[in-house]
Each structure stands twice: as structure tokens, then as C-alpha cells.
Structure 1
Amino acid sequence: MKLQKPALEIPKTAQNDPRVGHLINTERDSAKNIRVAIIGFPSDEGVRRNNGRPGAAAAPDEIRRQLYKMTPPPEGKEQFANLLDTILDMGNLSVSVDLETSQSDLGKILAELLSEDILPIILGGGHETAFAHFLGYAESGLETAIFNLDAHTDVRNLNEGKAHSGSPFRQAMEHPGKCCSKYLVAGLQPHSVAEEHLIYIKEQGGSYVFRDETNITSISGMFHEHESDRMMVTFDMDAVDDAYAPGVSAPCTNGLHQDLWLTAAYLAGRNEQVTSFDLCEVNPSFDRDGQTARLAALTIWQFLLGLSQRW
């Protein structure tokens, strides 16, 4: 398996105006005390298999492009900068034509990171990224709860035995390693969810919250509604209203407000039990002036802000 460095130009600014791209590490040999690793999973094969609109494979570098331009916050600047100094951007996984092979490859990389107590941040890719994310826990034999902020349950059956962007959490719950202790999902759209999928989640001991009941209180409650010492968190951009996130694989009318979305990312960063994070389904092919990529980058920034205050 290979990792490819993104061909991104870090913006040049005045010495007293540092940007995220100046402060994180891109070479492991020069990095010290790594606590967070960013890795891209440029795949949208699962979206194709799920009859969605492809394009999410281009997202990791577009998200980075926007994230690298951002600055540490004026308040808490030193804490944030100190965190950035412990981040290694490992680049993008060189994905295979075969989705299952790519998911397995990412799982092995993440397992190594988790075993070293390094918190992975994965930039998708379609939501098939989430099963690759989960395989990091399965590969290392670590039990984890899963929190998903999404318009869809993503617990569909495989298509002719093949994984796709709508199946990752059924795959996680049915994985023979039994590492998924509980599945929790918020932001669901009633017009995009099958009743049998809700029944399945309940039968598996999971919980769900519809969009109209998704707020800071319900999200905070779900962050603690499990008994595992770990939680993998996955954010699907199609949960956000398409006024704020038009460039996604499945646009969402009447989705979540961007303020709630960003606050949820901050809370995830602050949560001591959160041990990994991914963001999926940004689709630059359908974006409007980079709007969705900027929101995705700010989502990562908010998660890092929370993490900087946790550590």
C-alpha cells in the first residue's frame, strides 16, 4: 500500500500570520511527538455502486487546500498551534481499483496508528470510507462505539456481495470481530430512511435521532450513550442543508444548519472518548465556488479546536 503526498502549495504569508499549512508536519522523519494523523481516502467507488453521483474521490485535497489557508484562533492560539505541531499529514492512500482491498489497506494503516495512541482524521471519499475507518479498530481488536451524523442510516445490504457507500455500518455491526459495541446516528431525514433499517438498528442495540430532534442536547447525549472507552466519529456532509453544502454526493433539502454541524464537530473534538474522526461525501464536481470544501475544512478546524482544548 502506498501513501501519496498531496501536490498542494502552502500559502505564503507574513511571518506574524501563520496558517495551518505552515504549522502541521508533512514528513514523519522531521515530526516529533505525533498525536494526530491526517490521511485521505480518495475513493468514490462505493458511491458508484450505490447509484450516487461520483466525484468525492477529489475531496481530500480540496479540503486540505481550504484547511491549509486557515489560521489558529486569536484566543487559544498557543494551544492550537501546539496541537498542530503534533499533527502529521500522511497524504492520501493510493486506492486500488478494488474497493475492498483499499478499505483493508486503510484499516491496516489506522490499526497501526491506533495502537500507537495516535488519533486518525480521515478525509473521504464516499461514505464507504467509514467501513475502512472501522477496520482500523477491527484489525487491532479494539472495541468502539460509532457515532454517525448523517441524513441516512447507511445500513443497507451489500449489492451482490459488494460493499458500497450505503452499507458501512451494517458491515461494522456484522463484522466477525464484534468490535462495534454500539451504533448511534443523528440527523436522519424521514423521507430518506426505510423503516426496516430503523428496526435493524434497534435490533442491533443502536440508537437513532431524526433531523428535527437533532440538536446540541441530543448529540451530546449520544456521545455518552454507550459503554465503550472509545468512539469513532463519522460526519457525512449530506446531513447539512444544501444551501450550505451543495457539493455533496446526495444533496439534502431541509438538512442541518451549518452552525449545529460545526458545533457538533467541536464537541467531538472535546470528547475524551473520541479516538478517531472522518468526514465524507464532499463532492467538488458539484460544489459552488468551493463553498462545501470550505465548510468541510472548517469542520476539521472545529474538531481540532476542541481537541486542542481537550489536550
Structure 2
Amino acid sequence: MDFDFLSPVSEELLDGISHLNKQCIGAQIKLHTSRSGLPELEGVNVAIFGVRENRMAVEKSPLPEFFKLRRQFYSLFPGNWKLKIADLGDIEAGATIDDTYFAVQTLVESLIKQDIMPVILGGSQDLVYAQYRAYDKLDQMVNLVNIDRKFDLGDAEKQISSESYVGKIVVNKPYNLFNYSALGYQTYFNSQDEIELMERLFFEAYRLGEVTSDIRQMEPIFRSANIVGLDLGAIDSASMNSSRFNSPNGFNGREICALSRYAGISDKVSSFGVYEYQDGLGELADMLVAQIVWYFIEGVNYRTNENTISAKKEFIKYQVPIDDEVLVFFKSPVSGRWWIEIPFSSNVNTKLKRHTLLPCSEEDYLEACNQVIPERWYKAKRKNEV
């Protein structure tokens, strides 16, 4: 792998690793260093890299350094993982923003093709656009989940920014986006125009209170996701202990780590990004971000690979008649998780065939038995008909 736009981790960081317990992540991770170059990726399952870019941020700040964040992450002990992890260093800001986007897109695409999970440390959240564009040549429609207090739709006619990249994803060719789910939005940070647009596009939006009241109900949302982006602004300021994130409301540390683990355990998620990181957040914030990454990798380690054809053959089938419809549910006898079948039209784009089974919860099945059609099923069906 030859990516000359990647810079190695700092020598100062390498000196610090030498004093770590030999069982810590930092003593076991494969590293991109100035002495040995990029690590050999044979057998690597997860590849972490930073992106030192924030020119399109709404709130300007110096380019992010990931030294303190890496130091906290390296100091953690891994779980009982069977995974090999590599740190590829950082993508430096290009001469133009498009140069940076191209570097991110190229690296993410290459890692996915090698069956390696990219974990992106951002920079401003417009980098999700580059993360998404990495799927252009992968011949699949994708579902995007954004953990954020804002929808980030913005005005697609204007220049891209950290709060308008989703609009660009929707309107720019090639069209790869099938569904967009916003988790943890707070109404007072979003215009009514954007809220109504989410409805018209049959996208999914879950308010902060709805998510935190029963966070387990979010697991199916991640199970149907391919791309996950996490804006650190979705976390409450008390948990971050930083004036940079000044909202009193948001996810606390336990909640954001639970969501991160759900993202990791999803068999479909193939790239994960943590965005809006910057220097000077403080030791507590750095440790929380390190633990967010830790919980994501923990989830990846415990995947059950239920997307395989052989696994689906073992699913238990349930049929529920509602009005003129017959809803078809499936349950995994291994994990106990549920799916519902989406009846796609025969003339639909063939890229959509892989979305035939929509993850759902047992509560969705029980509500269907009480003649209540699940909202996620309805929206997915309507997107197919539009």
C-alpha cells in the first residue's frame, strides 16, 4: 500500500509507548513510523487514521493534532479481542479541500476492499462527504447514520461545510444514498424547513430524548447502516468538560459509548468516523473519545456475521397480516435479533436488492401483531415507490 499523503505518528508518541504495560493497546498496535514506514496490513482488521482538516468548519480553529488522543487510546487495555489493529498516521490537509477529500476517499475505499475497517479521526464533519464518496466504486447503495444534534442538511446550492455536507450527499452524483438516519437531534438546533425536508425524503430522525429513553431501540438502526459518523458536539458539555462543546444537553459518556458499540457490532457497518475533534479539549475529553473508539472496536470483535446467506437460512420466519399487507418477520436463533422484509419492486435499481431485509426490534414485531405498521418499514417501502 503506497499512500504518500499519510504522515507517521510522532516520535514523541513512540517514546511514550515504550513505558506502557506490554498488554496495552499501544504495545500491540501496528504503527506507521518515520523509521519503518507504513505497517504491513496482512491480517489487520481495523485501521485508524487521523485527518488534519477543518477548513470547511463553521467554527474555525487550528488544524487538529491527535497526539493527546492517541496517547489516551494507546494506554487502554484491549478486551478479549481477536482483532489486529493498525494506526496509519494522519492525512495532512491538502493544497485544496478537494485534495483532502480525495485522499480520504482513496484510503477508505482501499481499506474496505481489503476487508479492513477504517476508523477515521476528524477534523470537521464535512469529511463524512469524502467517507461517503469512497463507496462510489463499490457498487452498492449505502445507509448513513449520523450521531449529531443537527441534521447537517444545509443548502446544497452553497459551498459545502461541516453543517451542510448531507445536502451535497443527497444531490451530487453518483447517487449512492438509500437512507439517512439522524440520531440524537435537538429540535432547537434545526430549522423547521430541515425537519420537514427529512420527512419528505422519508429519512429517519430520532430526537435526543427518544434515543436516551431506551437506547437499545437504536441497535437496529445501526444494523442497517454502512457508514457511521459521530459529531462530538452530540455529547453534553459536562461529559466533555470542555468549553468547546457548550450545549448542556446531549449524550453522556455511557450513552455515546453504547451507541459506538452498536455501530461496531453491526455486520454491515464498513466505516466509522469521529469528527469535530480539536486540540485543547482536555484530558477528560480525550479519554472519552479514546473510549468511544475502544467501544466501537469492541463491537467489531463481537460481530456474529448474520448477513451471510447460510446464516439467513437458519432464521425463523413469522408472517403477520395487517389490512391488505402481510408483513414478514425473521428472527435469528443465534442472537435473537429481528428483521422485517421490504417488498421491493421488480424494476427497481439492482443495487437495492441487498436491502431486502430491514433490521427491526422485537417490539416492532409485537406492535405488528397488534395491527400497528412499523414506521421504518413504511418509510423504506415508500422510498422504493417514489
TM-score (norm 2): 0.70
Residue 241 of structure 2 corresponds to residue 242 of structure 1: no
Aligned residues: 291
The code of the aligned residue for 2:264 comes to G
Q: How far apart are 1:29 and its partner, in Å? A: 4.6
Secondary structure of the 2:136 match is helix
Secondary structure, in 3 states, of the residue corresponding to 1:272? coil
Contact conserved, 1:284 with 1:293, CA < 8 A, in 2? Answer: no
SS in structure 1 of the partner of residue 291 of structure 2: helix
Q: CA deviation at 1:204?
A: 2.3
**By how many angstroms is 1:219 displaced?**
1.7
Q: Does 1:40 align with 2:50?
A: yes
Mapping 1:1-311, distance limit 5 Å: 2-7=5-10, 8-9=13-14, 10-13=16-19, 17-27=22-32, 28-47=38-57, 50=58, 52-55=59-62, 57-73=63-79, 76=80, 80=81, 82-83=82-83, 86-158=84-156, 161-215=158-212, 216-224=215-223, 226=224, 231-247=226-242, 250-285=245-280, 287-288=281-282, 290-310=283-303
The higher radius of gyration belongs to 2
Query: Any gaps of 5 or more consecutive residues in structure 1?
Result: none
Instruction: Looking at secondary structure, tell me which structure has more helix per residue.
Output: 1
Counterpart CA distance in 2 for 1:125 and 1:141 is 28
1:304 alignment partner AA: I
| Deviations 1:26-83, CA, capped at 9 Å, x for gaps | 2545443122211111111111xx2x1424x32533321210111123xx2xxx2x31
- Following TM superposition, the consecutive aligned residue runs of length 4 or more in structure 1 with deviations greater than 6 angstroms are none
SS in 1 for 2:237: coil
C-alpha separation in 2, matches of 1:269 and 1:163: 28
Secondary structure in structure 2 of the residue aligned to 1:44: coil
Q: Specify whether residues 248 and 126 from structure 1 end up closer, same or farther in structure 2 by C-alpha distance, changes over 3 A only.
A: farther
Supply the RMSD in Å over aligned alpha carbons: 2.1
Whether the aligned pair in 1 keeps the contact of 2:39 and 2:86 (CA below 8 Å) is no
Is the contact made by 2:66 and 2:279 (CA closer than 8 Å) also made in structure 1?
no
Residue type of the partner of 1:6?
V
- Highest relative contact order (Cα 8 Å, sep 6+), 1 or 2? 1
* Deviates most, 168-177 or 260-269: 168-177
Unmatched segments (≥5 aa) in structure 2: 33-37, 305-386
Residues 87/96 of structure 1: CA separation in 2 closer, same or farther (3 Å cut): same
The answer (yes or no) to whether the contact 1:100–1:163 under 8 Å persists in 2 is no
Q: Which amino acid aligns with 2:222?
A: F
Provide the rounded CA distance (Å) in 1 between the counterparts of 2:302 and 2:220: 20
Percent sequence identity over matched residues? Answer: 20
